[in-house]
Amino acid sequence: MSPISRRKLITTGLATTAGLAGLGVAAKLAEHYGLVPPDHGGVYGPGETLTYAAQRILTTHSMAREFPRGMISKTPFANEVAPPSDEFKRHQASGFADWRLAVDGMVARPASFSVSDLKSLPLRSHITEVACEEGWSYIAEWIGTPLIDVLHAVGALPQARYVAYFSIEKPWWESIDMADALHPQTILAWGMNDGDLPVSFGGPLRMRVPRQLGYKSVKYITRLTVTDSLKSFGKGLGSASPEAGYSWYAGI
Amino acid sequence: MVRVTHWITVISFLALLVTGLEIVISHPRFYWGETGNAGTSPLFTLPIPASRATVPTAYGFVMPDQNGWSRYLHFQAAWAAVLTGLVYVLYGLWTRHFRNDLVPARADRSWRAYWAVIARYLRRAPADETEARSYNVVQRTAYLTVIFVLFPLIIWTGLAMSPAFAGVFPTAVTLLGGRQSARTIHFFVTWALVFFVVVHVAMVVQAGFKSRMRGMIVGEADAAEIPLEILPEISKEGV
């Protein structure tokens, strides 16, 4: 092996400096354009940030694939959930008549919606695929209220950057950025395949974020919070998923 | 550059393989078409226990869930591999590495040339002297297949499983036959790459593990292996 020449040393030094400076500028730009995910720390932060930033640049206005009615799965798979809490069982016994969705945080008019309140807002349905991070999938028709219409109804403030949503089953909660929160296919689903949303599939109310994997579509939603920072929620990693070791962004 | 990218790829590939198999354990069933789940009939099932209780297996126990870090590391290693591959391909085009060292010579583009090399491998006859400095036609074909067929295919099938990516490029999924087909192809391409690695390492061992490793790490072919008449040329290049 030849000894390292002075020229090589200088070019390597310059390239490293330029590279580090470039990284610094890239980090500033990424932060400015909202391309840094809340779980960007730690050993897997670089990969996670690259994935989120690349997909955000590519997908901000894209639509999740929709399928013809004939492709709806005859055997959709209801993933297991922990045994329901007593609180959930009480709601179930009364036919979910008192189920409420509280909306608070950075909104002009905090409000609480019943499922029939939600049904009085504009409706959207789509036939999309639920893909689990484990690898399996199914297609179903999802019927619900676009999240964007709920956000308009409560007057979400322009500083809002994320919407966090919470299940009645603790500690199950998630959050999405505004690109997904304002996306026309992101709905608060209360119907499935022309009927009510079955409990095993998240009834009476679940989030459906079809551009991300299944675990972002949290079941049994009772609360939404609009916020400009996720630092004060849970451990500050964005949702319950990173706290359990899973990535916050699940577009892949 | 070829050597640096090679070793980054080795590390990334190992990380991708281990985490990929780990993710498979959470659902060791494979399907064809768009959808597939524990309620539909699989194309085939791996005879291994699963890390999810929802998957029917022949085993009475459930493996621990390791998908969280496996998925994080899988994508991080994928980024490392893809970016490294991009640098390697651009560098290879720029320096004509592919044209000069990997595309088989015109005279070698025949079945007879392939059979000659394979027959020599089977006889375990020593390679002729030119092979200390260049690749034979079978090696060239294998490398080109890995670089320009298997790697692009595994990236494509991997991305086709991303619901966000599939929304932007739906054709990338339909061309493969659907999301579950993409996953199944991804699995088989993995084994094709593993097969390449196994043969590749076996060949390196057969050719002299120490000298080949030295060649790939510090960049010197073993002087004793190189015919005398080409040595001056090599020292001129500075290897």
Q: How far is A103 from chain B (nearest CA, A)?
A: 27
Give the bridge partners for A174, in sequence order.
Answer: A165
pLDDT digit string, tens, across residues B164-176 = 999 999 999 999 9
A33 touching chain B per CB within 8 A: no
Whether A230 is covered by a domain: the verdict is yes
Q: Spell out the alpha helix ranges (H) of chain A.
A: 6-32, 45-59, 86-93, 115-120, 147-154, 178-181, 240-243
CB contact under 8 A, A1 and B219: yes
CA B168 to chain centre: 27
pLDDT digit string, tens, across residues A126-161 = 999 999 999 999 999 999 999 999 999 999 999 999
Q: Which of the two residues, B50 and B128, has the higher pLDDT score?
A: B50
Phi-psi region of A174 (alpha: psi -120 to 50; beta: other; left: phi over 0): beta
DSSP string of A125-189?
EEEEEEE-TTS-EEEEEEEEEEHHHHHHHHTB-TT--EEEEEESSTT-EEEEEHHHHT-TT-EEE
Phi-psi region of A236 (alpha: psi -120 to 50; beta: other; left: phi over 0): left
The pLDDT of residue B239? 34
CA distance B90 to B88: 6
CA distance B165 to A30: 20
pLDDT (mean) for A93-122: 97
pLDDT digit string, tens, across residues B2-52 = 889 999 999 999 999 999 999 999 999 999 999 999 999 999 999 999 999
Of A156, A146, A118, A128, the closest CA to residue A212 belongs to: A128
CA distance A18 to B80: 20
Q: Which of A43-57, B119-133, B154-168, B173-187 has the lowest mean pLDDT?
A: B119-133
Q: Are B205 and B214 in contact (CB under 8 A)?
A: no
Q: How far is B167 from chain A (nearest CA, A)?
A: 4
The pLDDT of residue A3? 57
B220 touching chain A per CB within 8 A: yes
Helical axes B67-94 vs B2-25, angle rounded to 10°: 150
pLDDT digit string, tens, across residues A174-204 = 999 999 999 999 999 999 998 999 999 999 9
CA distance A48 to A36: 9
The pLDDT of residue B14? 98
- Chains A and B form CB pairs within 8 A to the count of 135
Whether A49 is covered by a domain: the verdict is no
Q: Which residues of A146-162 are buried (b: 16+ CB within 10 A; e: fewer)?
A: bbbbbbebbebeeebeb
The pLDDT of residue A163? 98
Which H helix or E strand runs over B29? Answer: strand B29-30
Whether A36 is covered by a domain: the verdict is no
Domain ranges of chain B: 96-237
> What is the pLDDT confidence band of residue B220, given thresholds at 50, 70 and 90?
low
Residue B45, CA atoms < 13 Å, CB-side half-sphere = 17
pTM of the model: 0.89
CA distance A223 to B137: 64
Whether A211 is covered by a domain: the verdict is yes
Residue A104 has pLDDT above 60, yes or no: yes
Provide the domain count of chain A: 1
Q: Are A161 and B60 in contact (CB under 8 A)?
A: no
Q: What is the dihedral of CA A26, A28, A34, A35, to 10 degrees?
A: 30
Chain A residue nearest residue B163, CA to CA: A211
Q: How high does pLDDT run on average in chain B? A: 89
Whether A129 is covered by a domain: the verdict is yes
Whether A42 is covered by a domain: the verdict is no
Of A136, A216, A236, A179, the closest CA to residue B45 belongs to: A136
Residue A240 has pLDDT above 70, yes or no: yes
Range of the domain at A185: 66-243
Residue A132 sits in a domain of what CATH number? 3.90.420.10
The pLDDT of residue A165? 98
Instruction: Tell me which chain A residues have a C-beta less than 8 angstroms from the C-beta of B40.
Output: 73, 75
What's the distance, Cα to Cα, between the start and end of chain B in Å?
12
Give contacts of A 128-167 with B, CB under 8 A: 129, 131-139
Find all residues with CB under 8 Å of A88, minimum gap 6, and list them.
A168, A169, A220
pLDDT digit string, tens, across residues B89-106 = 999 999 999 999 999 988
Whether A30 is covered by a domain: the verdict is no
CA distance B235 to B150: 35
Whether A140 is covered by a domain: the verdict is yes
| Prediction ipTM score | 0.89
Candidate from B73, B163, B173 with C-beta closest to A210: B163
Structure tokens at B124: 């375990």
CA distance A60 to A65: 14
CB contact under 8 A, B38 and A55: no
B186 touching chain A per CB within 8 A: no
